[in-house]
A and B are shown apart, each in its own frame.
Chain A
Amino acid sequence: MNRATPLFERSSVSFQKWMALTVIIMAGAAFYAVFLNITKDEQDEWLKTHKEKKITSLKLGLDIQGGLQMNMEVDQDKMAGKTPQEISDSADRALEILRNRVDGLGVTEPVLEREGVSGIVIQLPGLTDIKRARDILLSTAQLQFRLVSDRYRISDYLGKDGKVDNAKLPSGITYLAGKEDSGYLCEKILLTGESLTDAHVETDPVGRPYISFKFNPEGGKQFGIITGDNVGRLLAIVLDDRVYSAPRIQTRIPGGSGQITGSFTDQDAADLALILRAGALPAPLKVTSQFVVGPTLGADSVKRGTMAALYGLVLVLLFMGLYYRWSGWIANAGLLMNMIYLMGLLAALKVTITLPGIAGIILTLGLSVDSNVLIFERIREEMRAGKTVRAAIDSGYKRALEAIIDTHVTTLISAAFLFQFGTGPVKGFAVNLSLGVALSLFTAVVITKMIFDARKEYQGLSI
């Protein structure tokens, strides 16, 4: 008799007991990881944006819970002549500023990551107001204070098309469109948003919102000098090259604070204050791809996916139970253990569950019982060849193992490359499939063998 690994020899009683204990403890740990491992903080955070309590610690992907993903990069066209290092640095700074802006959006568990030299990925679960998100995140938020020229008039510089002809403008003068009116001829930049320390919304006596901001000491001092020297002139408050308002300077403004007025909605004003607080982006950002999943679509897909998984599970359980009878139910026990462990691992490793990830779990169902089919067919053959039940079981397990390993290896090879090169959802598929398939070596082979070994005497076998 050649000796195979001890696991596939009949195991001793004490070994069996230890194994059984391990299996049960692992199942308990999996249950804990999926359902109980939710801290109070996480629960509170969740309840801020969700109606129902969080029941599992499984992390759901954007395609399931709905939300917005934007992949963006520093606009290379506007960074001409910069070294990759400089571009990468500005992307790093942009990420920090975006983090501040996202914090103000009130999204649960946002994800912000740098990608490559100049890329940034933002995931905002549950957020689907694309326009608002884009306005807040993509706004460069370059705040400038400029005096409006009192020497030149727009009407003198109109081209044939009725628009301002930039080429004709005197040097040092810039035409800037207004948010609500035709625009202004502005002089050079006197102060920028970098001197700002705070910005928040206030309401005037009539109930209209406006943004009140505060300068840092240096900025405040300069602002005092500028306003003192130019009483009676218009001061344009410019954000991203558009004049928000151009109030007339009534008197010198000491104390280092000011306000931006205009016809804002409450939401607009709050968002504007948010981006001013968060600071300006060092460079404009360009969206390279964007994915939106509405909450109903996400809920619908996950319902369909979960139902499909359950039907698939029931079909396989019935098939194995009917075709291989009692032995089939042993395989089914292994399969259920596989599912329990897999869920536990996914929760413990904080793997994000995506729709393709659900397909990966479903495929695991089929591949896992495959091992049992190979083993059972071998056992049947050994029994037909005249071996005793006991011997047939042992050699069935031993001889099917090689083919089982083959399936596992090739599946893992594909999964590894998919993980390496795939996007988020595909990665989810690769991770779930490889974890499930790797677990099945234990659940479909070791655990089922243990159950067979628990009985000492076999007169016959229902297979």
Chain B
Amino acid sequence: MFQWFNEPKINFMAPRRFFLALSTLGCLAGVYACVLLWQGKANLGTDFGAGALLRLSSEKSVQIDQVRQTLKGEGYPDAQIQEVSDETTKGSSFIIKLKYDQKNAVGSLGDEVVGVFNKTFSDAHFTLQGSDEVGPAVSEKLRNDAFKAFFLSMLGILIYIVWRFKRFEFGVAAVITTIHDVLVILGIVVLTHREFNLLQVTALLTLAGYSLNDTVVTFDRIRENMKFLVKDQTFLQLVNLSVNETLSRTINTSGTVFLTLLPLCIMGGDTLKDFAFTLLLGVVVGTYSSIFVASPILVEWDLISRPKPVPSPTGSK
């Protein structure tokens, strides 16, 4: 029988306050990310931010600076341009993000930019590989729908968690952990300027459901161990023992999901790479939080709620 650890006895609970502080910082970053999203300052995808995402490739290579100059000259000063590797063409491939403006009908930007490029770079033969063009009315609807889906789904998951753990403090700890996971990942995605789009919301919701997995396993074990509380064992020791006992399980359940997502994150196309990356983050953060957030909350709860032992009168032994 192969095992990562043979009856591990790692004291996970010792640095718990350090990790709780770290996680609080992470959550604050997530809240800040929410503010940025609210103000529209985050890097929104075309689906949320009304605009066009064009993917063009040429038959002869063209410098990205020239592309930038051309777009600026043609009245698209805000264009974001990114060169992408593309094995299907000998020339260059670019992803161009434009803000939607009133002068163009939705859906006509792709042809227009290709036309401009083929006039400027007459022998490069640009073609439109793909485009997403979203008008303001649709992006507003998508934003609202994503918002609704996100909150209703979080609410559903949280209600299930509270119902699932019959003990109040377990429910609260699991709820906090789930919110923590979502906030931290949202913070990382938004603050590293990854594009925030409908797929990212999908990833966040999926991992909100998934991150509970590890917490449930650890908490179930804690409850079980509480039935056989050994004499002189503190609650902290019991939690630590439970985390150690379930360590292989926690690592392996996360590990299998990690392994399946890793190839997608490395070699998936543009659409799926970011999506897989967020899900991968979710797996890592979910594992971390079941050990360093969920369980420490239980311990701290126990320390706070337990009545302080009455100091024994001096002299008595």
- Chain A contacts to B: CB under 8 angstroms: 63, 70-71, 128, 130-131, 134, 286-294, 296-298, 300-301, 304-305, 307-309, 311-313, 315-316, 319-320, 322-323, 325, 355-356, 358-359, 362-363, 365-367, 369-370, 373-374, 377, 380-381, 402-403, 406-407, 409-418, 420-423, 425-426, 429-430, 433, 463
Contact = CB atoms under 8 A, between A and B. Distances in A.
Contact of B153 (A288, A319, A320, A413): A413
Contact of A369 (B149, B249, B256): B256
Contact of B210 (A411, A420, A426): A411
Given A291-B133, A296-B88, A365-B260, A407 B275 contact: no
A366 to B, nearest CB: 3
Contacts of B249: 373-374, 377
B42 interface: no
A305 B268 contact: yes
B198 A362 contact: no
A256 B212 CA distance: 74
Contact of A312 (B107, B161, B212, B261): B261
Interface stretch (B12-20, B183-191, B201-209, B292-300): B201-209
Nearest to B198: A426
A292 B130 contact: yes
Contacts of A420: 149
A402 B220 CA distance: 9
A377 B248 contact: yes
B279 to A, nearest CB: 7
Contacts of B255: 319
Interface residues of B, number: 77
A94 B267 CA distance: 43
Interface stretch (B62-70, B140-148, B228-236): B140-148
B29 to A, nearest CB: 23
16 contacts: A130-B110, A294-B55, A298-B130, A311-B267, A312-B264, A359-B264, A370-B213, A374-B217, A381-B245, A402-B220, A410-B208, A410-B209, A413-B160, A417-B149, A418-B202, A422-B145
A316 B210 contact: no
B138 A71 contact: yes
Contact of A362 (B47, B145, B260, B270): B260
B153 A417 contact: yes
A289 B111 contact: no
B77 interface: no
A410 B210 contact: yes
A304 B269 contact: yes
- The dominant DSSP class at the B interface is helix
A23 B1 CA distance: 30
A413 B210 contact: no
Q: Determine which residue in A288, A305, A420 has the highest number of CB atoms from chain B within 10 A of its CB, and name it.
A: A288
A415 B157 CA distance: 11
Contacts of A313: 260
B198 A292 contact: no
Given A370-B213, A414-B205, A315 B259 contact: yes
B275 A356 contact: yes
Contact of B272 (A359, A413, A416): A359
Contact of A301 (B138, B260, B271): B271
A320 B161 CA distance: 29
Nearest to B47: A423
B107 A290 contact: yes
Nearest to B217: A403
B35 interface: no
A413 B154 CA distance: 9
B135 A287 contact: yes
Interface string B246-262: 10110011011111111
Contact of B111 (A131, A367, A418, A429): A131
Nearest to B109: A290
Interface in B132-184: 132-135, 137-139, 142, 145-146, 148-149, 152-153, 156-157, 160-161, 164
A109 B160 CA distance: 42
B267 A308 contact: yes
A359 B275 contact: yes
